[in-house]
Amino acid sequence: MSDILSKIKKANLVGRGGAGFFVAEKWLSVAKALESKSADNKKCFVVCNAAEGEPGVMKDGCILEHYAARVIDGIKIAIDFLSAERAFLYLNYAYHKKLNKKLASLIKDAKIEIFVKPINSGYIGGEESAILNAIEGKRIEPRLRPPFPTTSGLWGRPTLINNVETFYNVSLVAAGQFKNTRFYTISGDCPFEGVFELPDNLTVEKILKQTDNFPKFPFFIQVGGNVSGEVFNAKQLKRPASGAGAITVYSQAKNDFKKVVKNWLNFYVNESCGQCAPCREGIYRLRDVFMKEKIDWRLFNDLLDNLSDASFCALGAAAAVPIKSLIKNVYHEKN
């Protein structure tokens, strides 16, 4: 059993959903949770997160389009490893439309069920514990942690949730073909938008240069997605493209501060699930404060800090990241 686990450990696989958790560690914690259960109570589940709800990230769709067999293989490996009851492929609505037949033919009689992400579930519908609620037919919003899904996930059973790219990598690792590459989504004000497979230790600068996307105009970038990614200026590019591996290029001429922040805030006001006060109320008030002619910066910053410090889930905390980093790295630098 530990054969695959030691391979994953050796390859140092990191989850590709965005949080960057070590894959072996997550698998092990599900296995441990199962160990503590009695013999007749060892049910567990596997979930492949193919929600890809973060704007500016397209790599999971690309992987499913081109390497679906690998992904399915990775899921099967996880099912075997855990003797899981069943796996759910939690699939973005658009991907389902496009790839349903292909995926079904690959799954055949494997214990994998395609669960289409409800179209009205929005951004939060991709958060891992919200996925559990969706599959169970509950209101789609994050669950309280602890307990973590690894110990109490679907129907209270230990549940392994990994991203599409992670299962793809697992399959490669199992076959001894993992070459330390990852899929980068590049978008925004650049000539060659798309998904690129490149070594996983490249800096943002190199990625942009190797894909002929390095801008010749004043710009800033956002790493990790169009709404939750961190913003950096042109001098800060010697860093890996972490998280879900997305790089968005913003032309400073086309994107003034007010416009960018307003877009983010509108997005988050619409997508907040509504559970906690810092996110539901806080983001709404952030937008209010921001749209005023004279912005109360102290209140604005307090609301942002409160989001990062006191939100219920990681998405609430993430909402503060782009705004804080845009101010710190781009507009603070400039002024």
Partner 1 sequence: MKKINLKINGRRLSCLEGKTIMQVAHDNGIEIPNLCYHPDLPVKANCRVCVVEIVDRKNLATACSTPVAAGLEIKTDSERVKRSRNLNLELIFAEHIKRCPTCIWRFNCQLLEYAEKYKIEITHFSDRKSKRKVYKFANAVEIDGRQCIDCRHCLDVCNDVQKINYLKLTGKGIDQEIVPASEHRGLPFIGKKAKPADCIYCGQCALHCPAGAAQEQSHWHLVEKALRDKSPLPPFVKGGKVLVAQFAPSIRVSIGEEFGAPYGKIMSGQVVAALKKLGFNYVFDVNFGADITTIVEAEELVARVKSGIPPDKGGQRGVLPMLTSCCPAWIKYIEFYRPDLMPNLTTARSPQSHSAGLIKTYWAEKMKINQKNILTVSIVPCTAKKFEAGRAELKIRGNWPIDYCLTTRELAWLIKKHGIDFFKLKPAASDNPLGESSGAAAIYGATGGVMESALRTAEYLLATARDTVCLEENKKNKMSLKAGHGRVEFKQARGLAGVKEAVVELAGKKLRIAVVNGIGQIQPVFDKLNNYDYIEVMACPGGCIGGGGQPIPTTKEIIKKRLEALYKIDAGASVRRAHENKEALRALRWLKGKGKLRAQVLYTKYRKKS
The verdict on whether omega for the bond into residue 149 sits within 30 degrees of 0, i.e. cis, is no
Nearer to partner 1 (CB atom), residue 123 or residue 167: 123
Applying CB under 8 A, which of residues 152, 262, 310, 331 lies at the interface with partner 1? 310
The span from the CA of 116 to the CA of 50, in Å, is: 9
Total residues binding partner 1 (CB under 8 A): 39
In this structure, the chain runs to a length of 335
Q: Two tokens at 253?
A: 């001429």
Q: Two tokens at 252?
A: 């400073």
CB of 291 to partner 1, least distance (A): 13
Other CB atoms within 10 A of residue 9 CB? 17
Task: Measure CA 30 to chain center.
Answer: 20
271 contributes a contact to partner 1 by CB under 8 A? yes
302 contributes a contact to partner 1 by CB under 8 A? yes
Nearer to partner 1 (CB atom), residue 121 or residue 169: 121
The Cα-based distances of 68 to 108, 157, 210, 234 in angstroms read 13, 27, 26, 36
CB of 279 to partner 1, least distance (A): 8
Is residue 317 exposed (0-12), middle (13-18) or buried (19+ Cβ within 10 Å)?
middle
Binding segment for partner 1 among 20-28, 48-56, 113-121, 257-265 (CB under 8 A)?
113-121
The span from the CA of 45 to the CA of 332, in Å, is: 47
259 contributes a contact to partner 1 by CB under 8 A? no
Nearer to partner 1 (CB atom), residue 69 or residue 277: 277
Applying CB under 8 A, which of residues 126, 312, 319, 329 lies at the interface with partner 1? 312
Applying CB under 8 A, which of residues 9, 285, 324, 328 lies at the interface with partner 1? 285
Applying CB under 8 A, which of residues 166, 306, 325, 329 lies at the interface with partner 1? 306
Angle at 107 between CA 102 and CA 112, to 5 degrees: 130
CB of 207 to partner 1, least distance (A): 28
CB of 139 to partner 1, least distance (A): 6
Applying CB under 8 A, which of residues 121, 162, 185, 213 lies at the interface with partner 1? 121
Applying CB under 8 A, which of residues 114, 170, 246, 273 lies at the interface with partner 1? 273
Residue whose C-alpha is closest to residue 107's, from 165, 44, 48: 48
CB of 274 to partner 1, least distance (A): 4
Applying CB under 8 A, which of residues 14, 103, 131, 303 lies at the interface with partner 1? 303
Residue whose C-alpha is closest to residue 275's, from 160, 74, 129, 82: 129
Question: What DSSP designation does 142 have?
Answer: P
The span from the CA of 246 to the CA of 208, in Å, is: 11
282 contributes a contact to partner 1 by CB under 8 A? yes
The span from the CA of 125 to the CA of 195, in Å, is: 23
Residue whose C-alpha is closest to residue 213's, from 245, 189, 233, 197: 189
Site for partner 1 in 146-165 (CB under 8 A): 146
262 contributes a contact to partner 1 by CB under 8 A? no
Residue ranges binding partner 1 (CB under 8 A):
118, 120-122, 124, 134, 137-141, 144, 146, 269-278, 280-282, 284-285, 288, 302-303, 305-306, 308-312, 317
